[in-house]
Amino acid sequence: MPHPMFKPDQAEGETSATASLRAFKRSMMLHRRLMASLLAQDATHPAQAGCLHALAHADGMRQSDLAEVLLVSRPTVTTMMQRMETAGLVERRADTDDARVMRVHLTPEGRARAARMREIVLEVLELSLGSLSETDQAELTRLLEAVNANMAVALAERGADVLRHCGLDHMGGDAR
């Protein structure tokens, strides 16, 4: 049920841009709730799922790089690593070249859980986008990439970093 202050049919003063943003935000919120409900079945926190996903693609990441990829602070990653280490999903090892740097590696259980998280992501994609035609999916991707490019340029113009791990480092100039 929508919040009474933000009724979905509220149109007074609404532009097509605000309607698009509202629809996008609602889609992201519903996506997150669906993902969380499926992850709960595996007793996995969404942040841990993101961590498992990142490590499945780049095992042995530095904790500081993991914090950047996950968009969280370094202390948050440290706490998450402690919990995931206790659960037997990851192990932290000192870097072979610099013992001050901690690298995070998936354990066999962590790799198995990462594979399960991939299955859940595919299930969410099927539930959310599976009913759209290939043409509609391609159009949605095209539109979202155009929005992403606009935001990356706006961030770069303001001197803000464009996140490398979001695939926006190809923007050129200061967009990094």
pTM score of the predicted model: 0.72
120 near 49, Cβ under 8 Å?
yes
Place of tokens 């695939």: 167
Residue 160, classed as helix, strand or coil, is coil
Which residues sit opposite 62 in a β-bridge? Answer: 103
Which residues sit opposite 91 in a β-bridge? Answer: 105
Torsion of CA 61, 64, 65, 71, to 10 degrees: 130
Name which of 134, 26, 127 is nearest 119 in CA terms. Answer: 127
How confident is the model at residue 160, as a pLDDT? 83
d(CA 51, CA 66): 7
> For the chain, what is the mean pLDDT?
86
Query: From the CB of residue 129, how many other CB atoms can be counted at a distance below 10 Å?
Result: 13
Provide the CB-side half-sphere exposure for 3 (13 A, CA). 3
pLDDT tens for each residue of 2-51: 555 555 555 667 899 999 999 999 999 999 999 999 998 888 888 899 99
Of residues 130 and 171, the one with the higher pLDDT is 130
Torsion of CA 87, 114, 120, 69, to 10 degrees: 100
Name which of 38, 6, 16, 1 is nearest 128 in CA terms. Answer: 38
105 near 90, Cβ under 8 Å?
yes
Structural domains of the chain, ranges and CATH numbers in brackets: 23-130 (1.10.10.10), 132-176 (no CATH)
pLDDT tens for each residue of 54-82: 999 999 999 999 999 998 899 999 999 99
